[in-house]
């Protein structure tokens, strides 16, 4: 027996009856009645059916007239829904990544919790209504995550703003948001808070964690010296990945492409080094592979092996 998820719309069509009285020059009168559609109201309806039992779409008229229609429904993944409404088109990014293709498969973020490690979130914003769960501030050890910088709310909106017909919607508009406040008002992040926040997120139901943050650092390719990176990041990242948390990290806004060169200053002078945005470009977690001869061969955004 197969259970299928269905989604359809319940449509209410408002019918306006208009009566016109026509007076003729000979004193006679003629009455004409016409009907027109004054408006429509629609509501998304999600349901489950077994063995592909079909639902019907009902047209309900405001004046109880006999004008009704119905149509057979098919699973969401089998029909082509036009997702490109005003909220979809509000920002160009959804088109760039072809988010509509994912929506056609039913991938809207439903039943997924995304942890957003940032400057907090605007808890009163209508776009996040009913979405915020398990808020955490690892710096204060409280649930206070109010955003005083704006960056975290901006990121949260891109990820999971509601699809409510207002403004824009997020890429995963059905997802829940677990805000973890690791930045202060000056958008400075504490590395220990990040590690604590990631573990909290992994232990409180998050499947994905977003880190739109980073710091440009050098990596000594010649000696494979990762001391600074280890001190800042440790193996905490590997630990949370082992718990099932996927981590998404920003590559940074400075355009560093991690190309190797000979350091002319600093601790790595005379050695081969790369400049990258960390933690996105972490070269290792459990250990840098001995078979790897060039840092630049490794992808900038990568999973943690």
Model-level pTM?
Answer: 0.65
- Rounded distance, CA 182 to CA 236, Å? 15
**Last residue in a domain, options 176, 206, 236:** 206
**Which DSSP symbol is given to 67?**
-
143/178 same-domain check: yes
Question: Are 13 and 64 within 8 A, CB to CB?
Answer: no
Most confident of 74-78, 100-104, 240-244: 100-104
Classify 76 as helix, strand or coil: helix
Range of the domain at 275: 214-305
Full 3-state SS string of 144-202? CCECCCCHHHHHHHHHHCCCCCCCCCCCCCCCEEEEEECECCCCCECHHHHHHHHHHHH
What would the pLDDT profile of 174-215 be if each residue is shown by its tens digit? 999 999 999 999 999 888 899 899 999 999 999 999 999 987
Q: Tell whether 261 and 221 lie within a shared domain.
A: yes
CA distances from 259 to 120, 228, 249, 264, 296 (A): 34, 19, 19, 15, 6
Residue 52 lies in a domain: yes
**Exposure letters 239-259 (e unless 16+ CB within 10 A, then b):** bbbeeebebebebbeeebebe
Residue 197 domain-assigned (yes or no) = yes
Nearest to 301 by CA among 233, 232, 247: 247
In a domain, residue 89? The reply is no
**Cα gap 251→277, rounded to integer Å:** 6
The whole-number pLDDT of residue 76 equals 46
Confidence check: pLDDT of 54 > 60: no
Is the domain of 179 the same as that of 137? Answer: yes
Give the pLDDT score at 304.
Answer: 29
Does position 131 have pLDDT exceeding 90, yes or no?
yes
Is the residue at 264 inside a domain? yes
Does residue 184 share a domain with residue 131?
yes
Domain-located, residue 153:
yes
Residue 77's pLDDT band, with cuts at 50, 70 and 90, is: very low
Kindly state whether residues 243 and 297 are assigned to the same domain. Answer: yes
Model confidence at 132: pLDDT above 50: yes
CA atoms within 13 A on the CB side of 89: 5
Are 115 and 159 within one domain? yes
Looking at residue 32, its pLDDT comes to 73
In the chain, how many domains are there?
3
Q: Quick one: pLDDT at residue 114?
A: 98
Mean pLDDT of the chain: 75
Q: Which of 206, 226, 251 finishes a domain? A: 206
What is the spatial distance between Cα 221 and Cα 288, in angstroms, rounded to a whole number? 10
Confirm whether 97 is domain-assigned.
Answer: no
In-domain check, residue 283: yes
Instruction: Tell me what pLDDT residue 104 has.
Output: 92
Q: Same domain for 229 and 167? A: no
CA 157 from chain centre, in angstroms, equals: 8
pLDDT at position 234 is 61
Q: Do residue 196 and residue 255 come from a single domain?
A: no
Domain boundary among 206, 227, 254: 206
- Given a cut of 60, is residue 269 above it in pLDDT? yes
**What is the per-residue pLDDT for 275?**
77
Residues 70 and 149 in one domain: no
Task: Kindly state whether residue 126 falls inside one of the protein's structural domains.
Answer: yes
In this prediction, residues 103-130 reach a mean pLDDT of 96
Nearest alpha-carbon partner for 7 in 152, 105, 148, 144:
105
pLDDT at 155: 97
Determine the distance from the C-alpha atom of residue 39 to the mean position of all C-alpha atoms in its chain, rounded to a whole number: 32
């Amino acid at each position: 027996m197969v259970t299928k998820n269905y989604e359809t719309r319940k449509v209410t069509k408002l019918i306006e009856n208009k009566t016109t009285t026509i007076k003729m020059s000979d004193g006679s009168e003629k009455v004409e009645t016409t009907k027109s559609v004054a408006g429509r109201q629609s509501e998304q309806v999600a349901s489950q059916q077994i063995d592909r039992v079909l639902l019907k779409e009902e047209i309900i008229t405001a004046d109880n007239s006999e004008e009704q229609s119905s149509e057979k429904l098919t699973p969401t993944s089998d029909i082509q829904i036009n997702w490109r409404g005003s909220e979809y088109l509000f920002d160009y990014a959804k088109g760039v990544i072809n988010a509509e293709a994912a929506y056609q498969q039913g991938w809207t973020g439903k039943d997924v919790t995304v942890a957003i490690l940032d400057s907090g979130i605007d808890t009163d914003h209508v776009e996040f209504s009913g979405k915020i769960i398990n808020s955490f501030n690892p710096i204060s050890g409280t649930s206070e995550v109010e955003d005083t910088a704006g960056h975290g709310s901006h990121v949260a909106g891109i990820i999971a703003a509601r699809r409510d017909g207002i403004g824009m919607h997020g890429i995963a508009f059905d997802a829940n948001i677990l805000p973890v406040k690791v930045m202060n008002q000056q958008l400075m992040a504490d590395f220990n808070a990040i590690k604590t926040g990631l573990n909290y997120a992994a232990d409180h139901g998050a499947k994905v964690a977003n880190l739109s943050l980073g710091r440009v650092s050098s990596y000594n390719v010649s000696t494979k010296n990762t001391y600074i990176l280890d001190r800042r990041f440790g193996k905490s990242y590997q630990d949370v990945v082992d718990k099932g948390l996927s981590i998404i990290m920003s590559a940074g806004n400075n355009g560093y492409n991690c190309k190797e060169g000979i350091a002319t200053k600093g601790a790595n002078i005379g050695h081969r080094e790369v400049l990258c945005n960390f933690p996105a470009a972490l070269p290792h977690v459990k250990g840098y592979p001995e078979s790897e001869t060039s840092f630049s061969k490794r992808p900038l955004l990568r999973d943690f092996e």
